[in-house]
Amino acid sequence: MASSERIFVQAIRRYCAGHGIAVDVRAGGWLIAMHRGGTRHFAFGYDIGLNSSIAHRLANDKSATAEALGLEDVPCIPHHLFLNPSMGAQIAGPDWHKAMLALLAQSPQGVVVKPNEGTSGRSVFKATNRNELDRAVSEVFASSLGLVIAPYVEIKDEVRVILLDERPMIVYRKERPSVVGDGVRSLRELSIAAGHDHQLRELDARDASAIVPKGERRVLNWRHNLDAGARPVLIENGEVHAACVKLAIDAASAIGIAFASIDVIRVDGAWQVLEINSGVMMEALGKLYPELVQATYDAALDRVFDEERRGT
């Protein structure tokens, strides 16, 4: 087993080795064929094929997810869709830029601009004025056919719930990198001393130079993505676990998805759905909790091959 392979690929290899299933890894691990008897199953990207095509497409489309959740009165962050104007005015519409500015005007804390499809927090920008908005839109449209604009909100907590058939397999909080002031050093100096120097690009220059009062905690990144430096912290029971699991189950039921990771956030004391991911990626989590991640993928793959035995 190549150590450079993604944890997702390694997990599938282990499962197949333990169940007498032939596995053929293609396209650098992004396409995996699993073959037993006369049946072949595919895994593509981070999708093992448990979800229906419509549930998969809804979850991968942030705007469609928000619309579908709204139909079922599941609390969620609105995501307004804009199509790339390079596709033509008949598709993008003639007033797309004016509509973007209207959303910005309606959001006193600013807006978040990101691709309509995609994960890991890539090409995600916060904009508080027209210039920042235009730069963000130009950046996203350079590589995406569609983007979404959501109101920026102060997120108190962000929790990811990984569900399989409405059963919570893993629940964890995303803890953003932070430092505690000593009343002597600046935010930049504290960040470097804590090994978070890669977070400096996220900080405003004036904030980075300011002395942090003693005992005051400062979060270094507004994003909660693990790829942006957040750390997964397991939540095994309690009020937060129960509230997040219930909301995640409601969201999964609303779009009819079987295996997914669902991000829920707490804003002003209330929990809302941020997004749903049909491809369940656990690369960062797998480095800290490999047995838990393997058990989750095993359970999902059991479902894949149980369906085969039932002839469904």
What pLDDT is attached to residue 280?
A: 95
pLDDT tier for residue 39 given thresholds of 50, 70 and 90: confident
The span from the CA of 67 to the CA of 258, in Å, is 19
Beta strands 157-164 and 146-151: pairing type? unpaired
What pLDDT is attached to residue 253?
A: 97
What pLDDT is attached to residue 312?
A: 47
Q: Higher-confidence residue: 110 or 306?
A: 110
Q: Higher-confidence residue: 207 or 123?
A: 123
Residue 261 DSSP one-character state:
E
150 token code pair: 């959501």
Instruction: Quote the percentage of the chain above a pLDDT of 90.
Output: 67
- First-to-last C-alpha distance (Å) of the chain: 32
Q: Higher-confidence residue: 60 or 224?
A: 60
Instruction: Name all domains of the chain by residue range, CATH numbers in brackets.
Output: 7-45+289-310 (3.30.250), 51-77+154-176+221-281 (3.30.470.20), 78-152 (3.30.1490.20), 183-214 (no CATH)
Query: What is the pTM assigned to this prediction?
Result: 0.85
pLDDT, tens digit (0-9, with 9 covering 90-100), for 221-252: 656 566 656 788 999 999 999 999 999 999 99
What pLDDT is attached to residue 185?
A: 83
Q: Among 28, 10, 53, which residue's Cα sits nearest to residue 301?
A: 10
Q: Higher-confidence residue: 86 or 162?
A: 162
